[in-house]
């Protein structure tokens, strides 16, 4: 939307895969300035693993023109971030994860400079479009406020729902049946063990160091 502000001929489409209950979110994004929204929704999609979800998205995206696909880095539940790289692979595009910032001017020119968080450092990459960029969530970046009047605007004509037939997919290729992996059980979070108590001496510090290393924290 920032690019669109500076380059008004930019076209922004919001694409989501999910149940019809996701429409209010898409409607609000239309009210905030997106040009069009598409919800890929079908009962047959339920239970799809990340590769199947990527294929469903790709089936739609192959039919529409785009320069850049912006994705998130984490879903609210799984936080696995598997879909953006898989979508990029299915579409044959480059992809970058954990993007903290996109330089709007270079994006408008077709070769965006993106910053990726690397702990205390920031790494800048230049990526040739078309590409998939997965943005990292930042708490200090929030969408503009939607006024009460705007929140009532009718945007229904700019929201389309696309089902499995329109995408030309077969029911056997999607959902749980089309997926190679399946969640079979939800387990309780592991019980926290008694803490290890050490002293602040060479041996204690060594144990802390080993712990930090084993968890990939240093």
Partner 1 sequence: VKKALLFVGAAEPAVRAELLEGAQRLYGRSRYETYSVVSDAGPEAVAGIVQTLDDLHREIGFDAVLFRGSRLAGMLAPRLAARLEACLVTEVVDVRRHSGHVALVRRVGGGQLLVRIASRADRPLILAIRPGAFPRRSTRREAKHTTLIPPSLVDAGTVVLVGRRPKDSPGDIRDAEILISGGGGALGSFAELEKLALVMGGRVAASRRAVDLGVAARAIQVGQSGRTVSPRLYLALGIDGAGQHIEGLRNIESIISVNTNRHAPICSISDIVVEGDASEFIERLCRRITQGTTAAPEPH
Q: Which of residues 130-189 bind partner 1 (CB under 8 A)?
A: 131, 136-140, 179-189
Nearest approach, Cβ of residue 47 and partner 1 (Å): 12
Which range, of 22-30, 31-39, 63-71, 209-217, touches partner 1 by CB under 8 A? 209-217
Which range, of 34-42, 151-159, 164-172, 208-216, touches partner 1 by CB under 8 A? 208-216
Please check whether residue 128 is in contact with residue 113, taking contact to mean a CB–CB distance below 8 angstroms. Answer: no
Q: Give dist(CA 169, CA 167) in Å, integer.
A: 6
- Taking CA 104 as the corner, what is the angle to CA 103 and CA 107, rounded to the nearest 5 degrees? 90
> Nearer to partner 1 by C-beta: 148 or 184?
184
Nearest partner of 97 among 120, 117, 121, judged by Cα:
117
Which one of residues 70, 113, 159, 171 is an interface residue with partner 1 (CB under 8 A)?
Answer: 113
Please give the residues from 31 up to 90 whose contact with partner 1 meets the rule CB under 8 A: 49-51, 54, 77-86, 88-90
* 21 binds partner 1, rule: CB under 8 A: no
> Nearer to partner 1 by C-beta: 76 or 148?
76
Nearest partner of 71 among 30, 114, 124, judged by Cα:
114
Residue with tokens 């929704």: 41
Q: Give dist(CA 120, CA 100) in Å, integer.
A: 13
* Count of residues making up the chain: 218
Give the number of residues in contact with partner 1, rule: CB under 8 A. Answer: 79
């Amino acid at each position: 939307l920032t690019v669109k502000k500076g380059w008004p001929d930019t076209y922004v489409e919001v694409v989501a895969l999910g149940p019809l209950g996701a429409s209010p979110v898409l409607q609000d994004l239309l009210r905030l300035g997106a040009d069009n929204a598409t919800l890929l929704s079908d009962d047959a999609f339920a239970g799809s693993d990340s590769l199947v979800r990527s294929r469903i998205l790709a089936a739609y995206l192959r039919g529409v023109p785009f320069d850049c696909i912006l994705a998130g880095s984490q879903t609210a539940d799984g936080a696995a971030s598997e879909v953006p790289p898989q979508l990029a692979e299915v579409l044959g595009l480059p992809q970058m994860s954990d993007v903290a910032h996109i330089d709007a001017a270079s994006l408008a020119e077709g070769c965006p400079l993106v910053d990726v968080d690397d702990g205390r450092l920031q790494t800048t990459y230049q990526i040739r479009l078309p590409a998939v960029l997965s943005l990292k969530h930042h708490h200090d970046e929030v969408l503009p406020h939607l006024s009460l009047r705007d929140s009532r605007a009718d945007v229904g004509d700019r929201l389309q729902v696309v089902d499995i037939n329109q995408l030309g997919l077969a029911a056997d290729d999607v959902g749980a049946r089309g997926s190679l992996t399946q969640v079979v059980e939800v387990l309780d979070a592991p019980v926290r063990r008694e803490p290890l108590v050490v002293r602040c001496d060479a041996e204690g510090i060594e144990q802390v160091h080993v712990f930090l290393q084993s968890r990939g924290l240093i």
